[in-house]
Structure 1
Amino acid sequence: MALVRREAARAASASGDRLRVACRDVIVGSGDALGVRSAVAGLADVTADLAGSGAALRELWRDPATTDVLVNGPTEVWVDRGEGLRRVELDVGDVRRLATRLAAAAGQRLDDAAPVADGRLPDGVRLHAVLAPIAAGGACVSLRRHVTRALGLAEWHASGGLGPLAHEVLGALVDCRANVLVSGGTGTGKTTLLAAMLSRAPGTERIVCIEEARELAPRHPHVVHLQARAANVQGAGGVSLTDLVRAAMRMRPDRLVLGECRGAEVREVLLALNTGHDGGMATVHANAAPDVPARLQALGSLAGMTPAAVAVQAVSAFDAVVHVVRRGGVRLVEQIAVLDLDEGRLRARLALVRPTGAGDLVPSAAWDVLARRLERGAT
């Protein structure tokens, strides 16, 4: 079996059924006397090493509730099954070796010259790995699994994430081709909600999704995915999100979608959504909808935009801000706001809020503004 693992590297570039065939060939060609049980176990281990999260972690992913696995050391493994992080008793062995093997499976380089890797494994798991000395305590691996089947707004409604009014409003935002910014913290379901909203778009529309690593999976027949690429160790070959937003504008998108605004690309998104690209969507990290203006201005400063420029562009670009939270293991739409100017300063006024303990959103101060936008878009 040691020979199997050494030779299995030649199958690292395979995917799907080809990966399994390659792994089978490695096992059969190893020359070892393997029974059926041993061969099946070996195939599972090699496949997990090359296309999944490693044999040592394979058992954790068998639980469909597992969304995140964090490896901080050989025996320090944390798992999130929807109720927050919990430490588990597991020895994954050499974390650096695990990290480099997984990075190779994701098509990324990870070594002393390139100590940080971010990518997606062939089985769909998102990988982020950091080596020492960047990670002071030793190599760290972060794995996140996104739903393989895109949820729709109806599923969000059925699970309690959306009440009747919120369900109707989000559907109306999609139908009237409003530009929507989804905000929330890490792991709150921003990408999942974005995919659910995009799944409602008419099948005749062309959706172009731009991401650092592919995560959006809307249930839609016409989706084009563009993925950023980091520069190599010589500093060449990089393709940034800013580059991709510019490229996407020339691809005849009916809906231009940025998986996450986290840098200077916010300028290109604001410009795109102000030049006739209706129905666009994006996500941004924020603690609450009223905090989104400060976040946009901070990102805009990275692109050399003044707060006044960001404010004017954002008010015109986005019709609504939808804020999601995670509470008690359930992802909830908690606020819907509209952006406007207050004496030249950008602000987010709440149109709908979820009171404590309530199952649905209720109208707030800016509800009439949002309602008019929905009515205008529906005409």
Structure 2
Amino acid sequence: MDDNALLERVRAKLADLPEGQTHSDIASIVRQETAGVVSDVRMLDLLRRVREESVGAGILDRLLRGAGVSDVLVAAPDRVWVDRGEGLALTDVVFSGEEEVRSLAVRLAGRCGRRLDDAQPWADGHIPGGIAGRGVRVHAVLSPPSGTGTQISLRVLRPARRGLEDLERAGLFPAEVHAVLADIVRAQLSFIVAGGTGAGKTTLLAAMLSQVPEEQRILCIEDTPELEPEHPHVVKLVTRAANLEGAGAIGQQELVRQALRMRPDRIVVGEIRGGEVVDLLAALNTGHRGGAGTIHANRAGDVVARFEALGLIGGLDREALHSQLASAVQVVLVVQRSSGVRRLAEIGVIVGVPPRIVTAWSVEGGAGEGWPLLQDLLRG
């Protein structure tokens, strides 16, 4: 009997066992199914595979445990990719077939409390600390609608708790910029960290929040808990997806409203991606200085357009969005990743109505025309 067929029979018997089964229970079932003819080496391998399938990510476990791994992507049974910070690389991991990939996708979705089947062929969720000792964000799409088989995307959620000193040593920005970033927080300027996927937005945001005075209360609103600033008074509000009946969803927009009633000194949105932008801008315009968040935009010049698009989702027209944004946010920080290297590429100042972003500092040119404007803001 090949191992895959044996595992199927072991799984079927395990399903009938009460919770809390031990390795000896599993080993006994394996021996029954093989008439006792199984080597110690094969037994250990089967026990490992059963354990991984029960509590881990199956054959993807070792990839998720790898040093520096941020993403694991399954594009086909024999096409498993990993990102270690230097772009995607094909691995030697191979599934037995589409059925095994689909089975893993369904199980991971179930661990997130999500439904994944032909009637609901995609799922998005979060497993807190349950794989490789770290939280993992899970997204899966079945076929159809995927035209190339079941797709699994796993993002390793490493807590963002490095300080500005750590990021300076890592080369994200030079020493003279370190002082400017600390001053932005000290002056309670509201700022947005912009960049592409994996550029280091959350890492920089958490480092800057670590500079907030200890007597101030920070309210962090996130889809998945990643922000871990070194600060004694951080309150986290995390969104919740709908349950299997389609009820109970809690979005970022509602959490921003709740945060306003919790006596915040600083309101932070881990990733601004929808209608919550309206409530956030309103909060920043009504006395809650020093707020922050991240947004997907590859260049400083794209940030205003991105806010316009999100404002429309929240029912805020372009003109109203412009007036709110110009008075609510003062600074934009743009981070980029190129050839695996992350860096703070630009610091911009938002001015005027309609708002535009004037470069105060860039990695290529140093101080720009917006530098005096930034200095005025820092002086208060």
| Counterpart AA for 1:118 | D
Work out the percentage of aligned pairs sharing the same amino acid: 43
Aligned to 1:363: 367
Distance in 1 between residues matched to 2:226 and 2:47, nearest whole Å: 27
CA distance in structure 2 between the partners assigned to 1:28 and 1:176 by the alignment: 61
Post-superposition offset of 1:160: 0.5
* Cα deviations by residue, 1:187-221 (Å, 9 ceiling, x for unpaired): 11111111111222233332221112222222333
Q: Does the CA-based 8 Å contact 1:263-1:299 persist in structure 2?
A: yes
**One-letter amino acid of the structure 1 residue matched with residue 62 of structure 2:** E
Whether the 8 Å CA contact 1:157–1:164 is kept in 2: the answer is: yes
Given the superposition, is the C-alpha separation of residues 242 and 28 from structure 1 closer, same or farther in structure 2, using an over 3 Å criterion? same
Q: Contact 1:4–1:27 (CA<8 Å) still a contact in 2?
A: no
Distance 1:238 1:149, change over 3 A: closer
Counterpart of 1:62?
Answer: 65
TM-score w.r.t. length of structure 2: 0.86
Aligned twin of 1:79: 82
Per the alignment, residue 129 of structure 1 pairs with: 140
Q: Unaligned 5+ residue runs, structure 1?
A: 12-21, 356-360
Whole-Å Cα distance in 1 between the matches of residues 224 and 208 of structure 2? 20
CA deviation map 1:261-302 (0-9, x unaligned) = 111111111111111112211111111112111110111111
Q: Distance in 1 between matches of 2:316 and 2:332?
A: 21
The answer to whether residue 184 in structure 2 is matched with residue 210 in structure 1 is: no
Please point out which of 121, 125, 137 is paired with 1:119. 125
**Residues 1-379 of structure 1 aligned to structure 2 (within 5 Å):** 2=7, 5=11, 25-30=21-26, 32=28, 44-46=48-50, 48-52=52-56, 54-93=57-96, 94-121=100-127, 122=130, 123-148=134-159, 150-232=161-243, 234-341=245-352, 344-355=353-364, 362-376=366-380
Matched-pair contact (CA < 8 Å) for 2:160–2:206? no
Q: CA deviation at 1:55?
A: 2.6
User: Helix, strand or coil for the counterpart of 2:135?
Assistant: coil
Instruction: After TM superposition, give the deviation of residue 84 of structure 1 in Å.
Output: 0.6
Q: Give the AA of the match of 2:165.
A: A
- Does the C-alpha gap of structure 1 residues 35 and 196 become closer, same or farther in structure 2, counting only changes over 3 Å? farther
SS of residue in 2 equivalent to 1:262: coil
SS at match of 1:345: coil
Is the Cα–Cα contact under 8 Å of residues 320 and 338 in structure 1 kept in the other structure? Answer: yes
1:4–1:26 CA contact under 8 A, matched in 2 = no
1:106 Cα shift? Answer: 2.5
Flag structure 2 segments of 5+ consecutive residues without an equivalent.
1-5, 32-37
Confirm or deny: 8 A CA contact 2:114 2:244 kept in the other structure: no
Deviation of 1:237 (Å): 1.6
Q: Considering only CA atoms, is the larger Rg found in Structure 1 or Structure 2?
A: 2
8 Å Cα contact 1:27-1:39 kept in structure 2? no
- Measure how far apart 1:43 and its partner are: 6.2
Q: Deviations over 1:148-205 (max 9, x none)?
A: 4621111110011111122111111122222110000111111111111122223333
TM-score, normalising length: structure 1 = 0.86
- 2:89 partner letter: R
**Equivalent pairs, count:** 357
